[in-house]
Chain A
Amino acid sequence: MKVELTRDKVHNEFTKKVELISGQNLFACYQCGNCTAGCPVSFAMEVGPHEVIRYTLLGLEEEALNVNTFWLCASCLQCTSRCPKGIDIARVMDALRMVVLRKKDRKDHIQISEFPEGFLEKVPQIAFISGFRKFLS
């Protein structure tokens, strides 16, 4: 679990990409945990949103992208609305989704073929449209 940091590591491509897509300055985060505290789904996350931001800032791409945190984000904006530093955390979560979904191997996060019988008929379009936009590449 040791991490060796250099200035190149801190300003790496992964972090820069996340900052670009989200439009947020990750250096502004002072890790207060307010986002994690108010998140309605953080109880199911492996690590809270503040932690995944920390991983991203330190350039730990593998750790950051292998947690379920941003996949569970429902974009409810509770975190964004209360962040004392004005960071739009929901955008960072979406950016992480995009980083994964836009990768060359274009792997979808959910597989439509695995939906249970009758699911497509039962669930309203609004759920599918928003869901597919967040989970399919």
Chain B
Amino acid sequence: MVIGGGIAGISASIDIGNAGYEVVLVDKLPSIGGRMLQLSETFPTLDCAQCTLTPKTVETGQHARIKLLTYSEVDRVEGKAGDFLVSVRRKATYVDWEKCTGCGLCQQKCPSKNPSEFDRGMGMGKAIYTLSPQAVPNKPVINTSTCRYFKEGKCRVCEKVCPVEAIDYEQKDRFVEERVGAIIVAVGFDLLPKERIGEYGYGQIPDVIDGLSFERLNSASGPTTGEIRRPSDGKTPKEVVFIQCTGSRDPERYMPYCSRVCCMYTAKHARLYKHKVHDGQAYIFYMDIRSTGKGYEEFIQQGMEEEGILYLRGRVSRLFRDGDKVIVWGADTLTGKKIEIAADMVVLATALIPQNDTKELAGKLGIAVDDYGFLTEAERKLRPVESNVEGIYIAGCAQGPKDIADAVAHANAAASKVQGLFAQHKDA
């Protein structure tokens, strides 16, 4: 079983499936793809994230040996390596996925509009939804907290328009049991909520957004069809400040560790912004530049030289609103000056943290987490994909912040461990 259908989970599943073993892939979201689905372009190549991801999700969806259990969560785990019994809660989707053809009419006609979590509050979504037009599986679910029928007993438009009568409001959660020989945990990451950061406005300044929200703004499939517009008034921002290390490398008040990917994705954001807004200025407040991967350092320097991105070495002490601008009080320690910028928009590279249910899941599996909630590897250097329990492996950002290439390598390694385990006991 692979828990988590992001790029790590998908990569591991394909590897194991291709090796000839059956895989059950569980994901709590309605479709697979994880964080990469929310990205617009990836560093250092600036390839379109969907174009890289979709072949993989489609391959996973169509793979003969991979069974997808999406919109599902692991409820209980018993047993040991070679013989785990996992009870999986299949959450009620209120849509009969056997009947649904993925025509999308229900989504079109749904009248309920609420801030979309997938779009990080940058745009509106419907109560009945798929995460993207290329979702795998391309079947919608109903969000009961925003659906008018579930809240007020009205509407039922989706039921009326569905050509195959797939809407079923009476659906309940159900449980299925899976017997598996090994488990890979690849449940990914979340971002430190900007609502926690007092000196940056406790998330209440509309034009202060985080990195994933910027990805949604830049995405062609996003709330602004890829145009960079600021949330408060939809205007094109001309002065954009990017702040690295927001909540990272901060032992006193937030996370002490480095979130590893922010230097690269912030440079990427600044470059993508400049590609679209030629007369805009991008400022990046940084403490260091960590660009250790292949092609990364060149990517950073190219951004400075070709786009005129101004890198200011220093942190930002405070953000506050002044009229329709966001005042940024930062420092440039290379000149020793206090820098003040009246920005149109600020993008925070917030710390990568584990998902809020990772700890609970680890508890069910009996595997260890560290002080911050990331899954602990069996040995820090030599056993990076094994947990402290035989037969349970860890992959991707659930173990610690990393970029896509490293997550895939990590997942491939976990898959190879599973294959090794199975090969050892192939007579069992």
Residues in chain A within 8 A of chain B (CB atoms): 30-39, 42-43, 47-48, 50-51, 78, 82-86
Structural contact, B338 and A32, CB atoms closer than 8 A: no
Chain A nearest CB, measured from B168 CB (Å): 52
Residues of A within 8 A of B339 (CB): 37
Structural contact, B252 and A33, CB atoms closer than 8 A: no
Could you pull out 23 A-B pairs where Cβ atoms are within 8 angstroms?
Answer: A30-B249, A32-B287, A32-B315, A33-B313, A33-B315, A33-B333, A34-B331, A35-B317, A36-B314, A36-B333, A36-B338, A37-B331, A38-B317, A38-B329, A39-B338, A48-B336, A50-B331, A50-B336, A78-B317, A84-B251, A84-B252, A84-B254, A86-B252
Residues of A within 8 A of B250 (CB): 84
Of the candidates B317, B318, B329, the one having the most CB atoms from chain A within 10 angstroms of its own CB is: B317
Residues of B within 8 A of A48 (CB): 331, 336-338
Partner of A34, one of B313, B317, B336, B337: B317
Residues of A within 8 A of B425 (CB): none
Interface size on B, residues (CB 8 A): 23
Q: Beyond A33-B314, A34-B315, A37-B339, is A86–B330 a contact (Cβ under 8 Å)?
A: no
Minimal Cβ-Cβ distance residue in A for B316: A37
Determine if B199 is an interface residue (Cβ-Cβ < 8 Å): yes
Chain A nearest CB, measured from B242 CB (Å): 15
Minimal Cβ-Cβ distance residue in B for A80: B252
Structural contact, B253 and A84, CB atoms closer than 8 A: yes
Partner of B314, one of A37, A39, A43: A37
Contacts A32-B287, A50-B333, A84-B251 given; 6 further ones with Cβ under 8 A?
A34-B331, A37-B314, A37-B338, A42-B338, A50-B336, A82-B199
Minimal Cβ-Cβ distance residue in B for A45: B338
Complex CA–CA separation, A38 to B200 (angstroms): 12
Residues of A within 8 A of B316 (CB): 34, 37
Chain A nearest CB, measured from B259 CB (Å): 14
Determine if B403 is an interface residue (Cβ-Cβ < 8 Å): no
Chain B 303-316 interface mask (CB, 8 Å, partner A; 1/0): 00000000001111
Minimal Cβ-Cβ distance residue in A for B199: A82
Partner of B317, one of A43, A51, A82: A82
Residues of B within 8 A of A31 (CB): 333
Contacting A at CB under 8 A, from B116-140, are: none
Complex CA–CA separation, A83 to B254 (angstroms): 11
Complex CA–CA separation, A30 to B330 (angstroms): 15
Structural contact, A38 and B287, CB atoms closer than 8 A: no
Partner of A33, one of B199, B253, B332: B332
Residues of A within 8 A of B329 (CB): 37-38
Chain B 265-294 interface mask (CB, 8 Å, partner A; 1/0): 000000000000000000000010000000
Residues of B within 8 A of A35 (CB): 317
Residues of B within 8 A of A51 (CB): 333, 336
Structural contact, A33 and B331, CB atoms closer than 8 A: yes
Residues of B within 8 A of A42 (CB): 338
Residues of A within 8 A of B253 (CB): 84
Chain A nearest CB, measured from B155 CB (Å): 48
Contacting A at CB under 8 A, from B211-263, are: 249-254
Chain B nearest CB, measured from A74 CB (Å): 15
Chain A nearest CB, measured from B426 CB (Å): 52
Of the candidates A34, A37, A51, A85, the one having the most CB atoms from chain B within 10 angstroms of its own CB is: A37
Chain A nearest CB, measured from B137 CB (Å): 44
Partner of B336, one of A43, A47, A82: A47
Partner of A37, one of B252, B254, B287, B315: B315
Contacting A at CB under 8 A, from B335-353, are: 336-339
Chain B nearest CB, measured from A49 CB (Å): 10
Q: Beyond A43-B338, A48-B338, is A83–B252 a contact (Cβ under 8 Å)?
A: yes
Structural contact, B251 and A86, CB atoms closer than 8 A: yes
Structural contact, A36 and B331, CB atoms closer than 8 A: yes
Complex CA–CA separation, A90 to B26 (angstroms): 52
Complex CA–CA separation, A131 to B236 (angstroms): 49
Complex CA–CA separation, A39 to B337 (angstroms): 11
Complex CA–CA separation, A31 to B252 (angstroms): 15
Residues of A within 8 A of B331 (CB): 32-34, 36-37, 48, 50
Complex CA–CA separation, A48 to B317 (angstroms): 13
Chain A nearest CB, measured from B349 CB (Å): 14
Q: Beyond A42-B338, A51-B336, A82-B317, is A30–B252 a contact (Cβ under 8 Å)?
A: no
Minimal Cβ-Cβ distance residue in B for A34: B315
Complex CA–CA separation, A83 to B317 (angstroms): 9
Minimal Cβ-Cβ distance residue in A for B312: A33
Complex CA–CA separation, A32 to B337 (angstroms): 12
Of the candidates A34, A50, A86, the one having the most CB atoms from chain B within 10 angstroms of its own CB is: A34
Structural contact, B251 and A33, CB atoms closer than 8 A: no
Minimal Cβ-Cβ distance residue in A for B286: A32
Q: Beyond A37-B338, A82-B317, is A32–B333 a contact (Cβ under 8 Å)?
A: yes
Minimal Cβ-Cβ distance residue in A for B313: A33
Residues of A within 8 A of B249 (CB): 30, 84
Complex CA–CA separation, A33 to B335 (angstroms): 11
Structural contact, A30 and B287, CB atoms closer than 8 A: yes
